[in-house]
Chains A and B, each alone.
Chain A
Amino acid sequence: MNQPDRYVQFVLPEGERKVNYKADTKLKDAGTFSFRSEDHTMGNLLRMQLHSDKAMVFAGYRIPHPLEPVMVVKVQTNGTKSPEEAMVHALQDLASEFGYMLNEFDREVMNAQQNPMHNL
């Protein structure tokens, strides 16, 4: 009766923005990204990729409430990049990483099909 509809977890309602950025009022080069209809799948990936950036001082994600499909990523850089830039770079790196993984997978599938012996 009180359970929200499941499709809300992955369908973005009309008129809502997927990502919102708010610069931090008290810290320099810090800000918070708010993602709608995202969960730990993307949150943990973004956090991991942001950490591997040399310009990062703080990067973390959380889901403020399990019943609401909102994910918040807090980013603070050391000044060489703005937080938005760092996020864009992290996403681009992730995209190129996954593209490469897909290519490797296709290559391995072709390999496996040509040598059927090595599957057993």
Chain B
Amino acid sequence: MGKDKKKKSTEPKAKLPEHLELRRDYVTCGDKLNYNVHTFTSANVFSAMGVDNSWDLAQFKKDFKIIINKLDKEVLEFDMIGVDPAIANALRRILIAEVPTMAIEHVFMINNTSIIQDEVLAHRLGMVPLLADPQLFEAKVAEEAPSEKNTLVFKLDVTCKRGENRMFSGQLEWLPGGSELPEETTCRFAAGQAHLFADPATPKPRAVHDDILLAKLRPGQTIQLEAHATKGRGKEHAKWSPVATAWYRLQPVVHVIQDVAVDSDVGQELMSACPGLFVADEGGRVLRANDARGHEMLRRLLEQERFSSCVSYRKKKDHFIFTIESSGAVPPLELLGQALELLGEKARDLTGKL
């Protein structure tokens, strides 16, 4: 299909009748369940009406849009339009499970006299998000010895002398020269890693948040350990997931299906409940305006019959509002870029392997 010659059609493409277009393009939200949820992907589904539903790269390029709405250090919200739910879901799954990060994998306990058990402490250390660019490192195969190319070494040495001490993630110290116990850990660095982070703009490896409580100590208790961090993916363990979470929802669309007078009870209640959404048009009727995005409270009103008979709440099936909350290791914009690249790589990889 990708190699077919494109024929220039002289007559306009047949369009579906309006009620079928509604079913194809919008999810209708009822108060107890949603209707018309499925997407019509099959190319022949409307052939009885003479409408061709097959996929066309040129049409896709025309319809596809990405619009970035909000961007800051940790959260990215963007709109993706003209895309099938399978693609949006694949992107979400890749963001959660397949973009690599660094996380602590092996913990060598030198001394732990606290009441937190070794394995519990090791688990907590693994879950701490680390501020280190995973692209500087290679993934470590199980049989390989740890080296500067695939391991980041951290040290933690805390003793409580008086009162109660708390051990925080900010006390993790990065060792650029490698392990301090090369015989036990079999980790030998040929050269240090300091040159990788020499540029003052790149932050030195540390925990993203300094105030994650790892353990509490009382006088006389001490914890000394060395932690090795490797590169991994969320699929193997959730500690390597780069996002706090990533999710999407469909764009809501409000449509007035029955004329409502501005000065009627229904009209007044609608306009006061959702300011900015309903606007009077010329002639004194109520019209929907702009984006229905901030006005989800409308669904509460639509549980009542008098509102649901004149206003319909729908969702556009190919317009996704994506939110990515990064855990801090990688900025969210870069995460999206890596995820889109991984998506392309998967498809190209399989093409080659056929």
Binding site for B on A (CB under 8 A): 6-7, 9-10, 17-19, 21, 35, 40-42, 44-45, 47-49, 51-56, 84, 86-102, 104-106, 108-109, 112, 119-120
Contact = CB atoms under 8 A, between A and B. Distances in A.
A10 B2 CA distance: 29
Interface residues of B, number: 52
B351 A91 contact: yes
Given A54-B43, A95-B348, A102-B344, A108 B66 contact: yes
B64 interface: yes
Given A45-B86, A108-B68, 5 more contacts: A41-B90, A52-B1, A93-B2, A102-B340, A105-B66
Contacts of B2: 89, 92-93, 96
Contacts of A6: 235-237
B89 A44 contact: yes
A104 B53 contact: no
Given A10-B235, A95-B348, A105-B337, A89 B1 contact: yes
A54 to B, nearest CB: 5
A91 B66 contact: no
B156 interface: no
Contacts of B25: none
Contacts, number: 140
A92 B43 CA distance: 17
A95 to B, nearest CB: 4
Contacts of B61: 100
11 contacts: A40-B93, A41-B90, A41-B98, A42-B350, A51-B42, A52-B41, A52-B43, A53-B55, A95-B344, A97-B57, A97-B60
The SS class assigned to the B binding surface is mixed
A87 B354 contact: yes
B87 interface: yes
A94 B345 CA distance: 10
Contact of A112 (B44, B68, B237, B349): B68
B70 A119 contact: yes
Contacts of A45: 86-87, 90, 347
Interface string B223-254: 00000000001011100000000000000000
B68 A93 contact: no
A44 B65 CA distance: 22
B54 A101 contact: no
Nearest to A53: B1
Contacts of B90: 41-42, 44-45
A55 B43 CA distance: 8
A106 B3 CA distance: 27
A102 B341 contact: yes
A35 B354 CA distance: 10
